[in-house]
Amino acid sequence: MAEQDHVESARAVYDAAVAKYVQFVGTEISPVTEATLDRSLLLAFTELIRDGPAGRVADVGCGPGRVAAFLAHRGVTVVGIDVSEGMLAAARSAHPHIPFEQGDLNALPFDAAVLAGVVCWYSIIYTPPNRLKGAFAELARVLTPGGSVLLGFHAGSGESVHRADAHGTHLPLTSYLHDPREVVSLLEEANFTTYATVIRAPALQHETTPQGFVFGRRAA
């Protein structure tokens, strides 16, 4: 796989699937797509941001801006980042008070050490396991020391799930079930201190795998 093939595949699918995807997930965090525990973890993240260094938070892989809006409604200064211009257009339409910019997890549009936090809410599921180390290094680059990160992902043992017709687009897309232990290990290699890992069983109608969540802080 070429260096950015997984990024370009995700961009193509989500540009083509905007209307259908937004119809499914909506433009706000809701019980349809997030279990009670998931929503409580996002709320806990807002508290961690208040207790940490001041600054903006990035919702990386923001899609139609659902997590960005959740954070903004609770007083967090947030910017949404996505590879898909189609998704960014949907996010800007739904949440005109929030800034949204194009970028990807491997090359974020920020200077070093300027963010107080980053949320990757199911955006690492398209990153192959052997590319997570580089992605986490990029998160470490943009976060200020003490800044918080929250990762949400489908949990497994690193296996891939290939779809030939992702979101009804007739385009292929591969996602990955990341091993939470490997996620923690790679975060720590990237100069993060991890302090909470949560794994829950499938709970929603569309879920078939365990869901993993990892909180970390950028070390000094």
Domain 5-218 CATH superfamily = Vaccinia Virus protein VP39 (3.40.50.150)
Q: pLDDT per residue over 103-143, tens digit each?
A: 999 999 999 999 999 999 999 999 999 999 999 999 999 99
Q: pLDDT per residue over 75-95, tens digit each?
A: 999 999 999 999 999 999 999
In the structure, what pLDDT confidence band is assigned to residue 220 with cuts at 50, 70 and 90? confident
Compute φ and ψ for 118, nearest 5 degrees. -140, 135
CA distance 219 to 203: 34
What pLDDT does 177 receive? 98
Domain positions in the chain: 5-218
CA distance 63 to 142: 20
Q: How far is CA 32 from CA 15, 38, 39, in A?
A: 23, 11, 11
Q: What is the mean pLDDT of residues 199-212?
A: 94
- Mean pLDDT for the chain overall: 95
Q: pLDDT per residue over 23-68, tens digit each?
A: 999 999 999 999 999 999 999 999 999 998 999 999 999 999 999 9
- What percent of the chain stands above pLDDT 90? 95
Sequence-ordered alpha helix ranges (H) in 143-219: 180-189
What pLDDT does 4 receive? 55
Q: How far is CA 95 from CA 16, 78, 100, in A?
A: 21, 12, 9
